[in-house]
Chains A and B, each alone.
Chain A
Amino acid sequence: MLYRETGQFKTSYRRDQAIFPIAQDRWSIGVIMVIAYLVIPVIANEYWLQAILIPFLIFALAALGLNLLTGYAGQLSLGTGGFMAVGAYAAYKMTTAFPDVPILLVLLLSGVFAAAVGIIFGLPSLRIKGLYLAVATLAAQFFLIWLFNRVAWFYNYNPSGTITAPPRTFLGVMITGPEATATVRYLVALSFLMLFALVAKNLVRSEIGRTWMAIRDMDVAAEIIGIRPLTTKLSAFATSSFYCGVAGALLLFLYLGSVETLAFDIAVSFEVLFMVIIGGMGSIMGSIIGAAFITFMPILLTNAPHLIGVDLPVDLAKELETIIFGGLIIVFLIVEPHGLARLWQIGKEKLRRWPFPY
């Protein structure tokens, strides 16, 4: 009843092609933007911003990247952590070598380096498919982590092996470094995510997106009708690695501040893959929802016993958390294998009829 499109007539092709054609959708997105940009920085406390919202935004960006590669182009990749590491180390090297370059430009350029590496490690996808490709991308993951550990040039010969984000400002406001406030960093991460999500949505609605989906669905047939697998698969790897590289750079500059290769371990690759699968493969909104689910759930699980009033010893709580996490994944996959995005879609369909039965 509230969600119906009756009465909304499109009078131009431009209006018809809009990303949010229904007015109620546009209003909702507007409200969410207002809350995200204006309300949350005011009401959220430091802990929420620093420990929950900023990593959520950054991992949503990484999940978006992986979704483009795995959900839209069908190339299963377990090298996300490695590509994020490339972005982080590239940004670090650039900003320490050229301190006067604006930090936002550095963050974007770090994606370019990650894209280049992504193309190199994407080359096997031209020959290898499916689960074999997933394991081949693990080669990328392990090799890149070894490289950043072993070649001291990457961490500027720092004896501890960690890289630290130097303080940088933008328009007079401190964005990175210990002086930067959580609010500023949150807003920068949010802006990056919004921009990149918009670009991703437009990419998947355009010709490139359609070639990706064609390769995903039936790559032999796609080749026959004239879609070049080389450029398509490599463009998918390049774009996805660009997103993951920028996410990695943001992880260093906006969230952790100081990072070593452990932060880009294979566990991160699996975490991002979880976000994509649970959020819904082949869905932009799904990546963001999936990231929210995976980021918020451990915190919920850790804090739930306190809220109920039961106090558990720390190791028992940790074990229970692992058990429940694993169990929830399985239950979730049984209930809705297409992810939360599909549940959202079903919800919207039902909303169009509500409260009428049909």
Chain B
Amino acid sequence: MTEFLTALFVTPFVDIASGPIFFGEVVIGGLMAGVMYSMVALGFVLIFKASGVFNFAQGVMVLFAALTLVGFMERGLPLWLSLLLATGVMILLAFAIERAVLRPLVNQDPFTLLMATIGLTFFLEGVGELVWGSNVKKLDIGIPDDSFEVAGMLVNQFELIAALVAAVLVTALAILSQKTTIGRALRAVADDHQAATAVGIPLQTIWVTVWSVAGIVALVAGIMWGAKSGVQFSLSLIALKALPVLILGGLTSIPGAIVGGLIIGVGEKVGEVYWGPAIGGAIENWFAYVLAMVFLLFRPHGLFGEEIIERV
């Protein structure tokens, strides 16, 4: 018993203190992994903010976007054309989803919409498999994958580029939302649907826009994840990994998605490396969730989430 307690409370800290460079590497690896999760979580947040729908199909949209891109590239089209076409496909998908799923279900309660997006997950998964085939595809868009040293710690070039891409994406989204008219309309709809309609903002157009933007974010996330581990069907399970990021950061906050991703990424890696051997290893599956849950106990709406004021 004592050795379990020591392994839990003493050994990890001793290990951290005695190997600071390795700890630094683990932390940096965690930050990078977290950035990848954040990219997926961003799509969730965008849609939830603007239309109140928890889009469980975001993971499958990431997969679908990556599949479309690879599919076009495999047909021999150059990269820039494939990117353009893939973006077009995601925008068309947004139109179709709004018309077929969101409009008939307008004003239903959130559970129903969640279930509808789960149905959408199955649907898109099947269509993706039908159209593009179900074998693992390699996605090579020229991102270098070697490591280099910074202050004695090994840093992977690919992960650095992923972090840069995420930073660019978030900046672009921030500029979109703060400086453009359409961004202002998105923020208005996110605040209050009915008031936005009263002012004359067309709800349906906004929803199509939001789902398109989320689709493009999904495409970027799909490219990064696909380049990292190949485009395969387990990519749709990334949604499950992004959920703790979402609830930690708050369902309605873009900075929350980033910060939540970083915390979850670091927490998961550090937990696995230093606490994993004490508990039994392979704790990555649930550690992120438990970590998020612990945070939730102190801030029930996530770190940056909107506090829901209940009126009786």
Contact = CB atoms under 8 A, between A and B. Distances in A.
A132 B301 contact: yes
B126 A319 contact: yes
Nearest to B280: A150
B290 A143 contact: yes
A329 B116 CA distance: 7
Nearest to A145: B285
B287 to A, nearest CB: 9
A135 B244 contact: yes
B123 A319 contact: no
Contacts of B297: 124, 127-128
A119 interface: no
A233 to B, nearest CB: 14
Nearest to B115: A277
Nearest to A270: B118
A146 B296 contact: no
Given A128-B297, A132-B247, A329 B127 contact: no
A136 B130 contact: no
B136 to A, nearest CB: 15
Contacts of B244: 135
Interface in B268-312: 280-283, 285-286, 289-290, 292-293, 296-297, 300-302, 308, 310, 312
Identify which of B115, B243, B283, B302 gathers the most chain A CB atoms within 10 Å of its CB. Answer: B115
Interface string A266-290: 1000100110010001000000000
Interface in B119-138: 119-127, 129-130, 134
A299 interface: no
A96 interface: no
Nearest to B298: A127
Given A128-B297, A131-B251, A138-B243, A326 B289 contact: no
Interface in A183-239: 218, 220-221, 224
Given A315-B134, A319-B130, A326-B126, A136 B119 contact: no
Contacts of A333: 105, 108, 112, 115-116, 119
A143 B115 contact: no
A143 B282 contact: no
B105 A124 contact: no
Interface residues of A, number: 45
Interface in B241-255: 243-244, 246-247, 251
Identify which of B105, B129, B292, B300 gathers the most chain A CB atoms within 10 Å of its CB. Answer: B300
B111 A76 contact: yes
A130 B282 CA distance: 29
Given A136-B293, A330-B100, A150 B286 contact: no
A221 B253 CA distance: 29
Contacts of B123: 322-323, 326-327, 330
A319 B125 CA distance: 8
Given A129-B300, A131-B251, A326 B121 contact: yes
B310 A220 contact: yes
A304 to B, nearest CB: 15
Contacts of A132: 247, 251, 296, 300-302
Contacts of A323: 122-123, 126-127, 130
A257 interface: no
Given A127-B300, A220-B312, A330-B120, A322 B280 contact: no
B286 A142 contact: yes
Contacts of B296: 124, 127-128, 132, 136
Contacts of B122: 322-323, 325-326, 329
A151 interface: yes
A128 B300 contact: yes
Contacts of A128: 293, 296-297, 300
Contacts of B81: none
B39 to A, nearest CB: 19
Contacts of A146: 282-283, 285-286
Contacts of A325: 119, 122, 126
A322 B302 contact: no
A148 B173 CA distance: 43
B247 A136 contact: yes
Interface string A110-129: 00000000000000100111
The 7 residue pairs across chains A and B that have the minimum distance between CB atoms: A326-B122, A329-B119, A326-B123, A323-B126, A322-B126, A139-B289, A142-B286
Interface of B: 54, 100-101, 104-105, 108-112, 114-116, 118-127, 129-130, 134, 240, 243-244, 246-247, 251, 280-283, 285-286, 289-290, 292-293, 296-297, 300-302, 308, 310, 312
